Amino acid sequence: MRKFIAEVSEKLRSHEHKLTSRRECILCILLENKDKHLSAEEVYNLVKQKSPDMGLATVYRTLELFCEFNIIHAMDFGDGRKRYEFGDDSGDGHHHHHLICEKCNKIIEVNEDLLEELENRITNDYQFSISNHHLKIFGICKECMAKSNNKQ
């Protein structure tokens, strides 16, 4: 974690920004919850436990700054709120996909590139250079299906 924080600090410094103690606190919250897709409000609520004097505006500005430098990515999962996750720095332009439960709002990551064949066809048939894609599939997770089956 310290190595990643140092890398973020260097990235910000190279663009004439600093990793202030408040920004580092927000980054640590994101790192501690990297398996979740937190909204700005959720980040704020977690940050308040460690730094009660930090304001919501600081959290929003920091998240936007981190997005600007591709430290994190903002996603909308259909609930009207941006949620944040760390990006894939592999450089190949491929990201994981998401399954979103319409009952409990659980977000499940699918770490396979399911669109490679489609991308190849688009590139060849339309002479279109794809730089990125996002796939969100909405449905009902197995836990919510089990709850529904138990009620019947």
Residue among 76, 135, 80, 78 at smallest CA distance from 111: 135
Alpha helix ranges (H) inside the chain: 2-13, 21-32, 40-50, 56-68, 116-126, 142-151
Identify the CATH number of the domain defined by range 94-152: 3.30.1490.190
The pLDDT tens digits of the residues spanning 92-150 come to 555 678 898 999 988 888 877 778 888 899 999 999 998 877 788 999 999 999 988 88
Residue 49 has pLDDT above 80, yes or no: yes
Annotated binding site: 95, 101, 104, 116, 133, 141, 144
Contacts of 106 (CB under 8 A, 6+ apart): 100, 141, 143
Q: What is the C-alpha separation between 89 and 56, in angstroms, rounded?
A: 28
The pLDDT tens digits of the residues spanning 54-73 come to 999 999 999 999 999 999 99
What is the mean pLDDT of the segment spanning 23-43?
94
- Write down the domain spans for the chain: 1-87, 94-152
Q: What is the C-alpha separation between 13 and 9, in angstroms, rounded?
A: 6
**Overall pTM surpassing 0.75 (yes/no):** no
Positive/negative CA dihedral, 139, 144, 145, 148: negative
Annotated binding site for Fe cation: 95, 116, 133
Q: Residue 79 — very low, low, confident or very high, per pLDDT cuts 50/70/90?
A: confident
Residue-level pLDDT at 89: 52
Q: Structure tokens of 3?
A: 């190595």
**Cβ atoms within 10 Å, residue 37:** 21
Which 3 state secondary structure label does DSSP give 105? coil
| Beta bridge pairs of residue 84 | 38, 74
Annotated binding site for Zn(2+): 101, 104, 141, 144
Residue-level pLDDT at 95: 62
HEC states along 115-129? CHHHHHHHHHHHCCC
Identify the CATH number of the domain defined by range 1-87: 1.10.10.10
Q: What is the C-alpha separation between 108 and 20, in angstroms, rounded?
A: 32
